[in-house]
Amino acid sequence: MWIDYYKLADWELVKEVVVGGLEWVGFSKVNTRKLLCISSQKTTIIDCFSGEILACSCEYDEEATIAYCDELPDEEISIAGYYGGKLPDSSVQGDSISVTKENLITTVLFSSAQGNESMIFRNYGFYTCGFSSDGKYFVFAQDAGVTVLRRSN
């Protein structure tokens, strides 16, 4: 367990997967349950509802932080990771995250729409985290891999 997701009453774990050489992640805006994961070894799509993982091919631009994927055609996907980019830090339902870094240690606070605040991560190795555009899915990426949550209500 890389993040303390059990503290989040309205969320459930879909997948926690080791991704060697993880570089970038990004949600599809067309099919919001699809999460693109780009590593130095391969590129995959995680279905954020079922947890299924599908191999794919993609081209990406690290400076523009965008990717194009064969399994998500005709869509420009915004990507984020250790080297830059940003995922949405709030959901349309009112949840939000706050990320702070001090002395190389990153702290991630998750605030629910009901006003409950929980520290879900405080450690080294943070890359990025954020919500899908419809707010139904949340991803946390770090040097060990990816944690995917889905809204349970």
Q: What is the pLDDT of residues 24-65, one digit of tens each?
A: 999 999 999 999 999 999 999 999 999 999 999 999 999 999
**Rounded to whole angstroms, how far apart are CA atoms 140 and 71?**
22
User: Residue 53: how many CA atoms within 13 Å on its side-chain side?
Assistant: 14
Burial of 41 (0-12, 13-18, 19+ CB in 10 A): exposed
pTM: 0.96
Domain ranges of the chain: 5-151
Q: What is the pLDDT of residue 53?
A: 97
Q: What is the pLDDT of residue 77?
A: 98
Q: What is the pLDDT of residue 131?
A: 99
Mean pLDDT score across all residues of the chain: 95
What is residue 152's DSSP assignment?
-
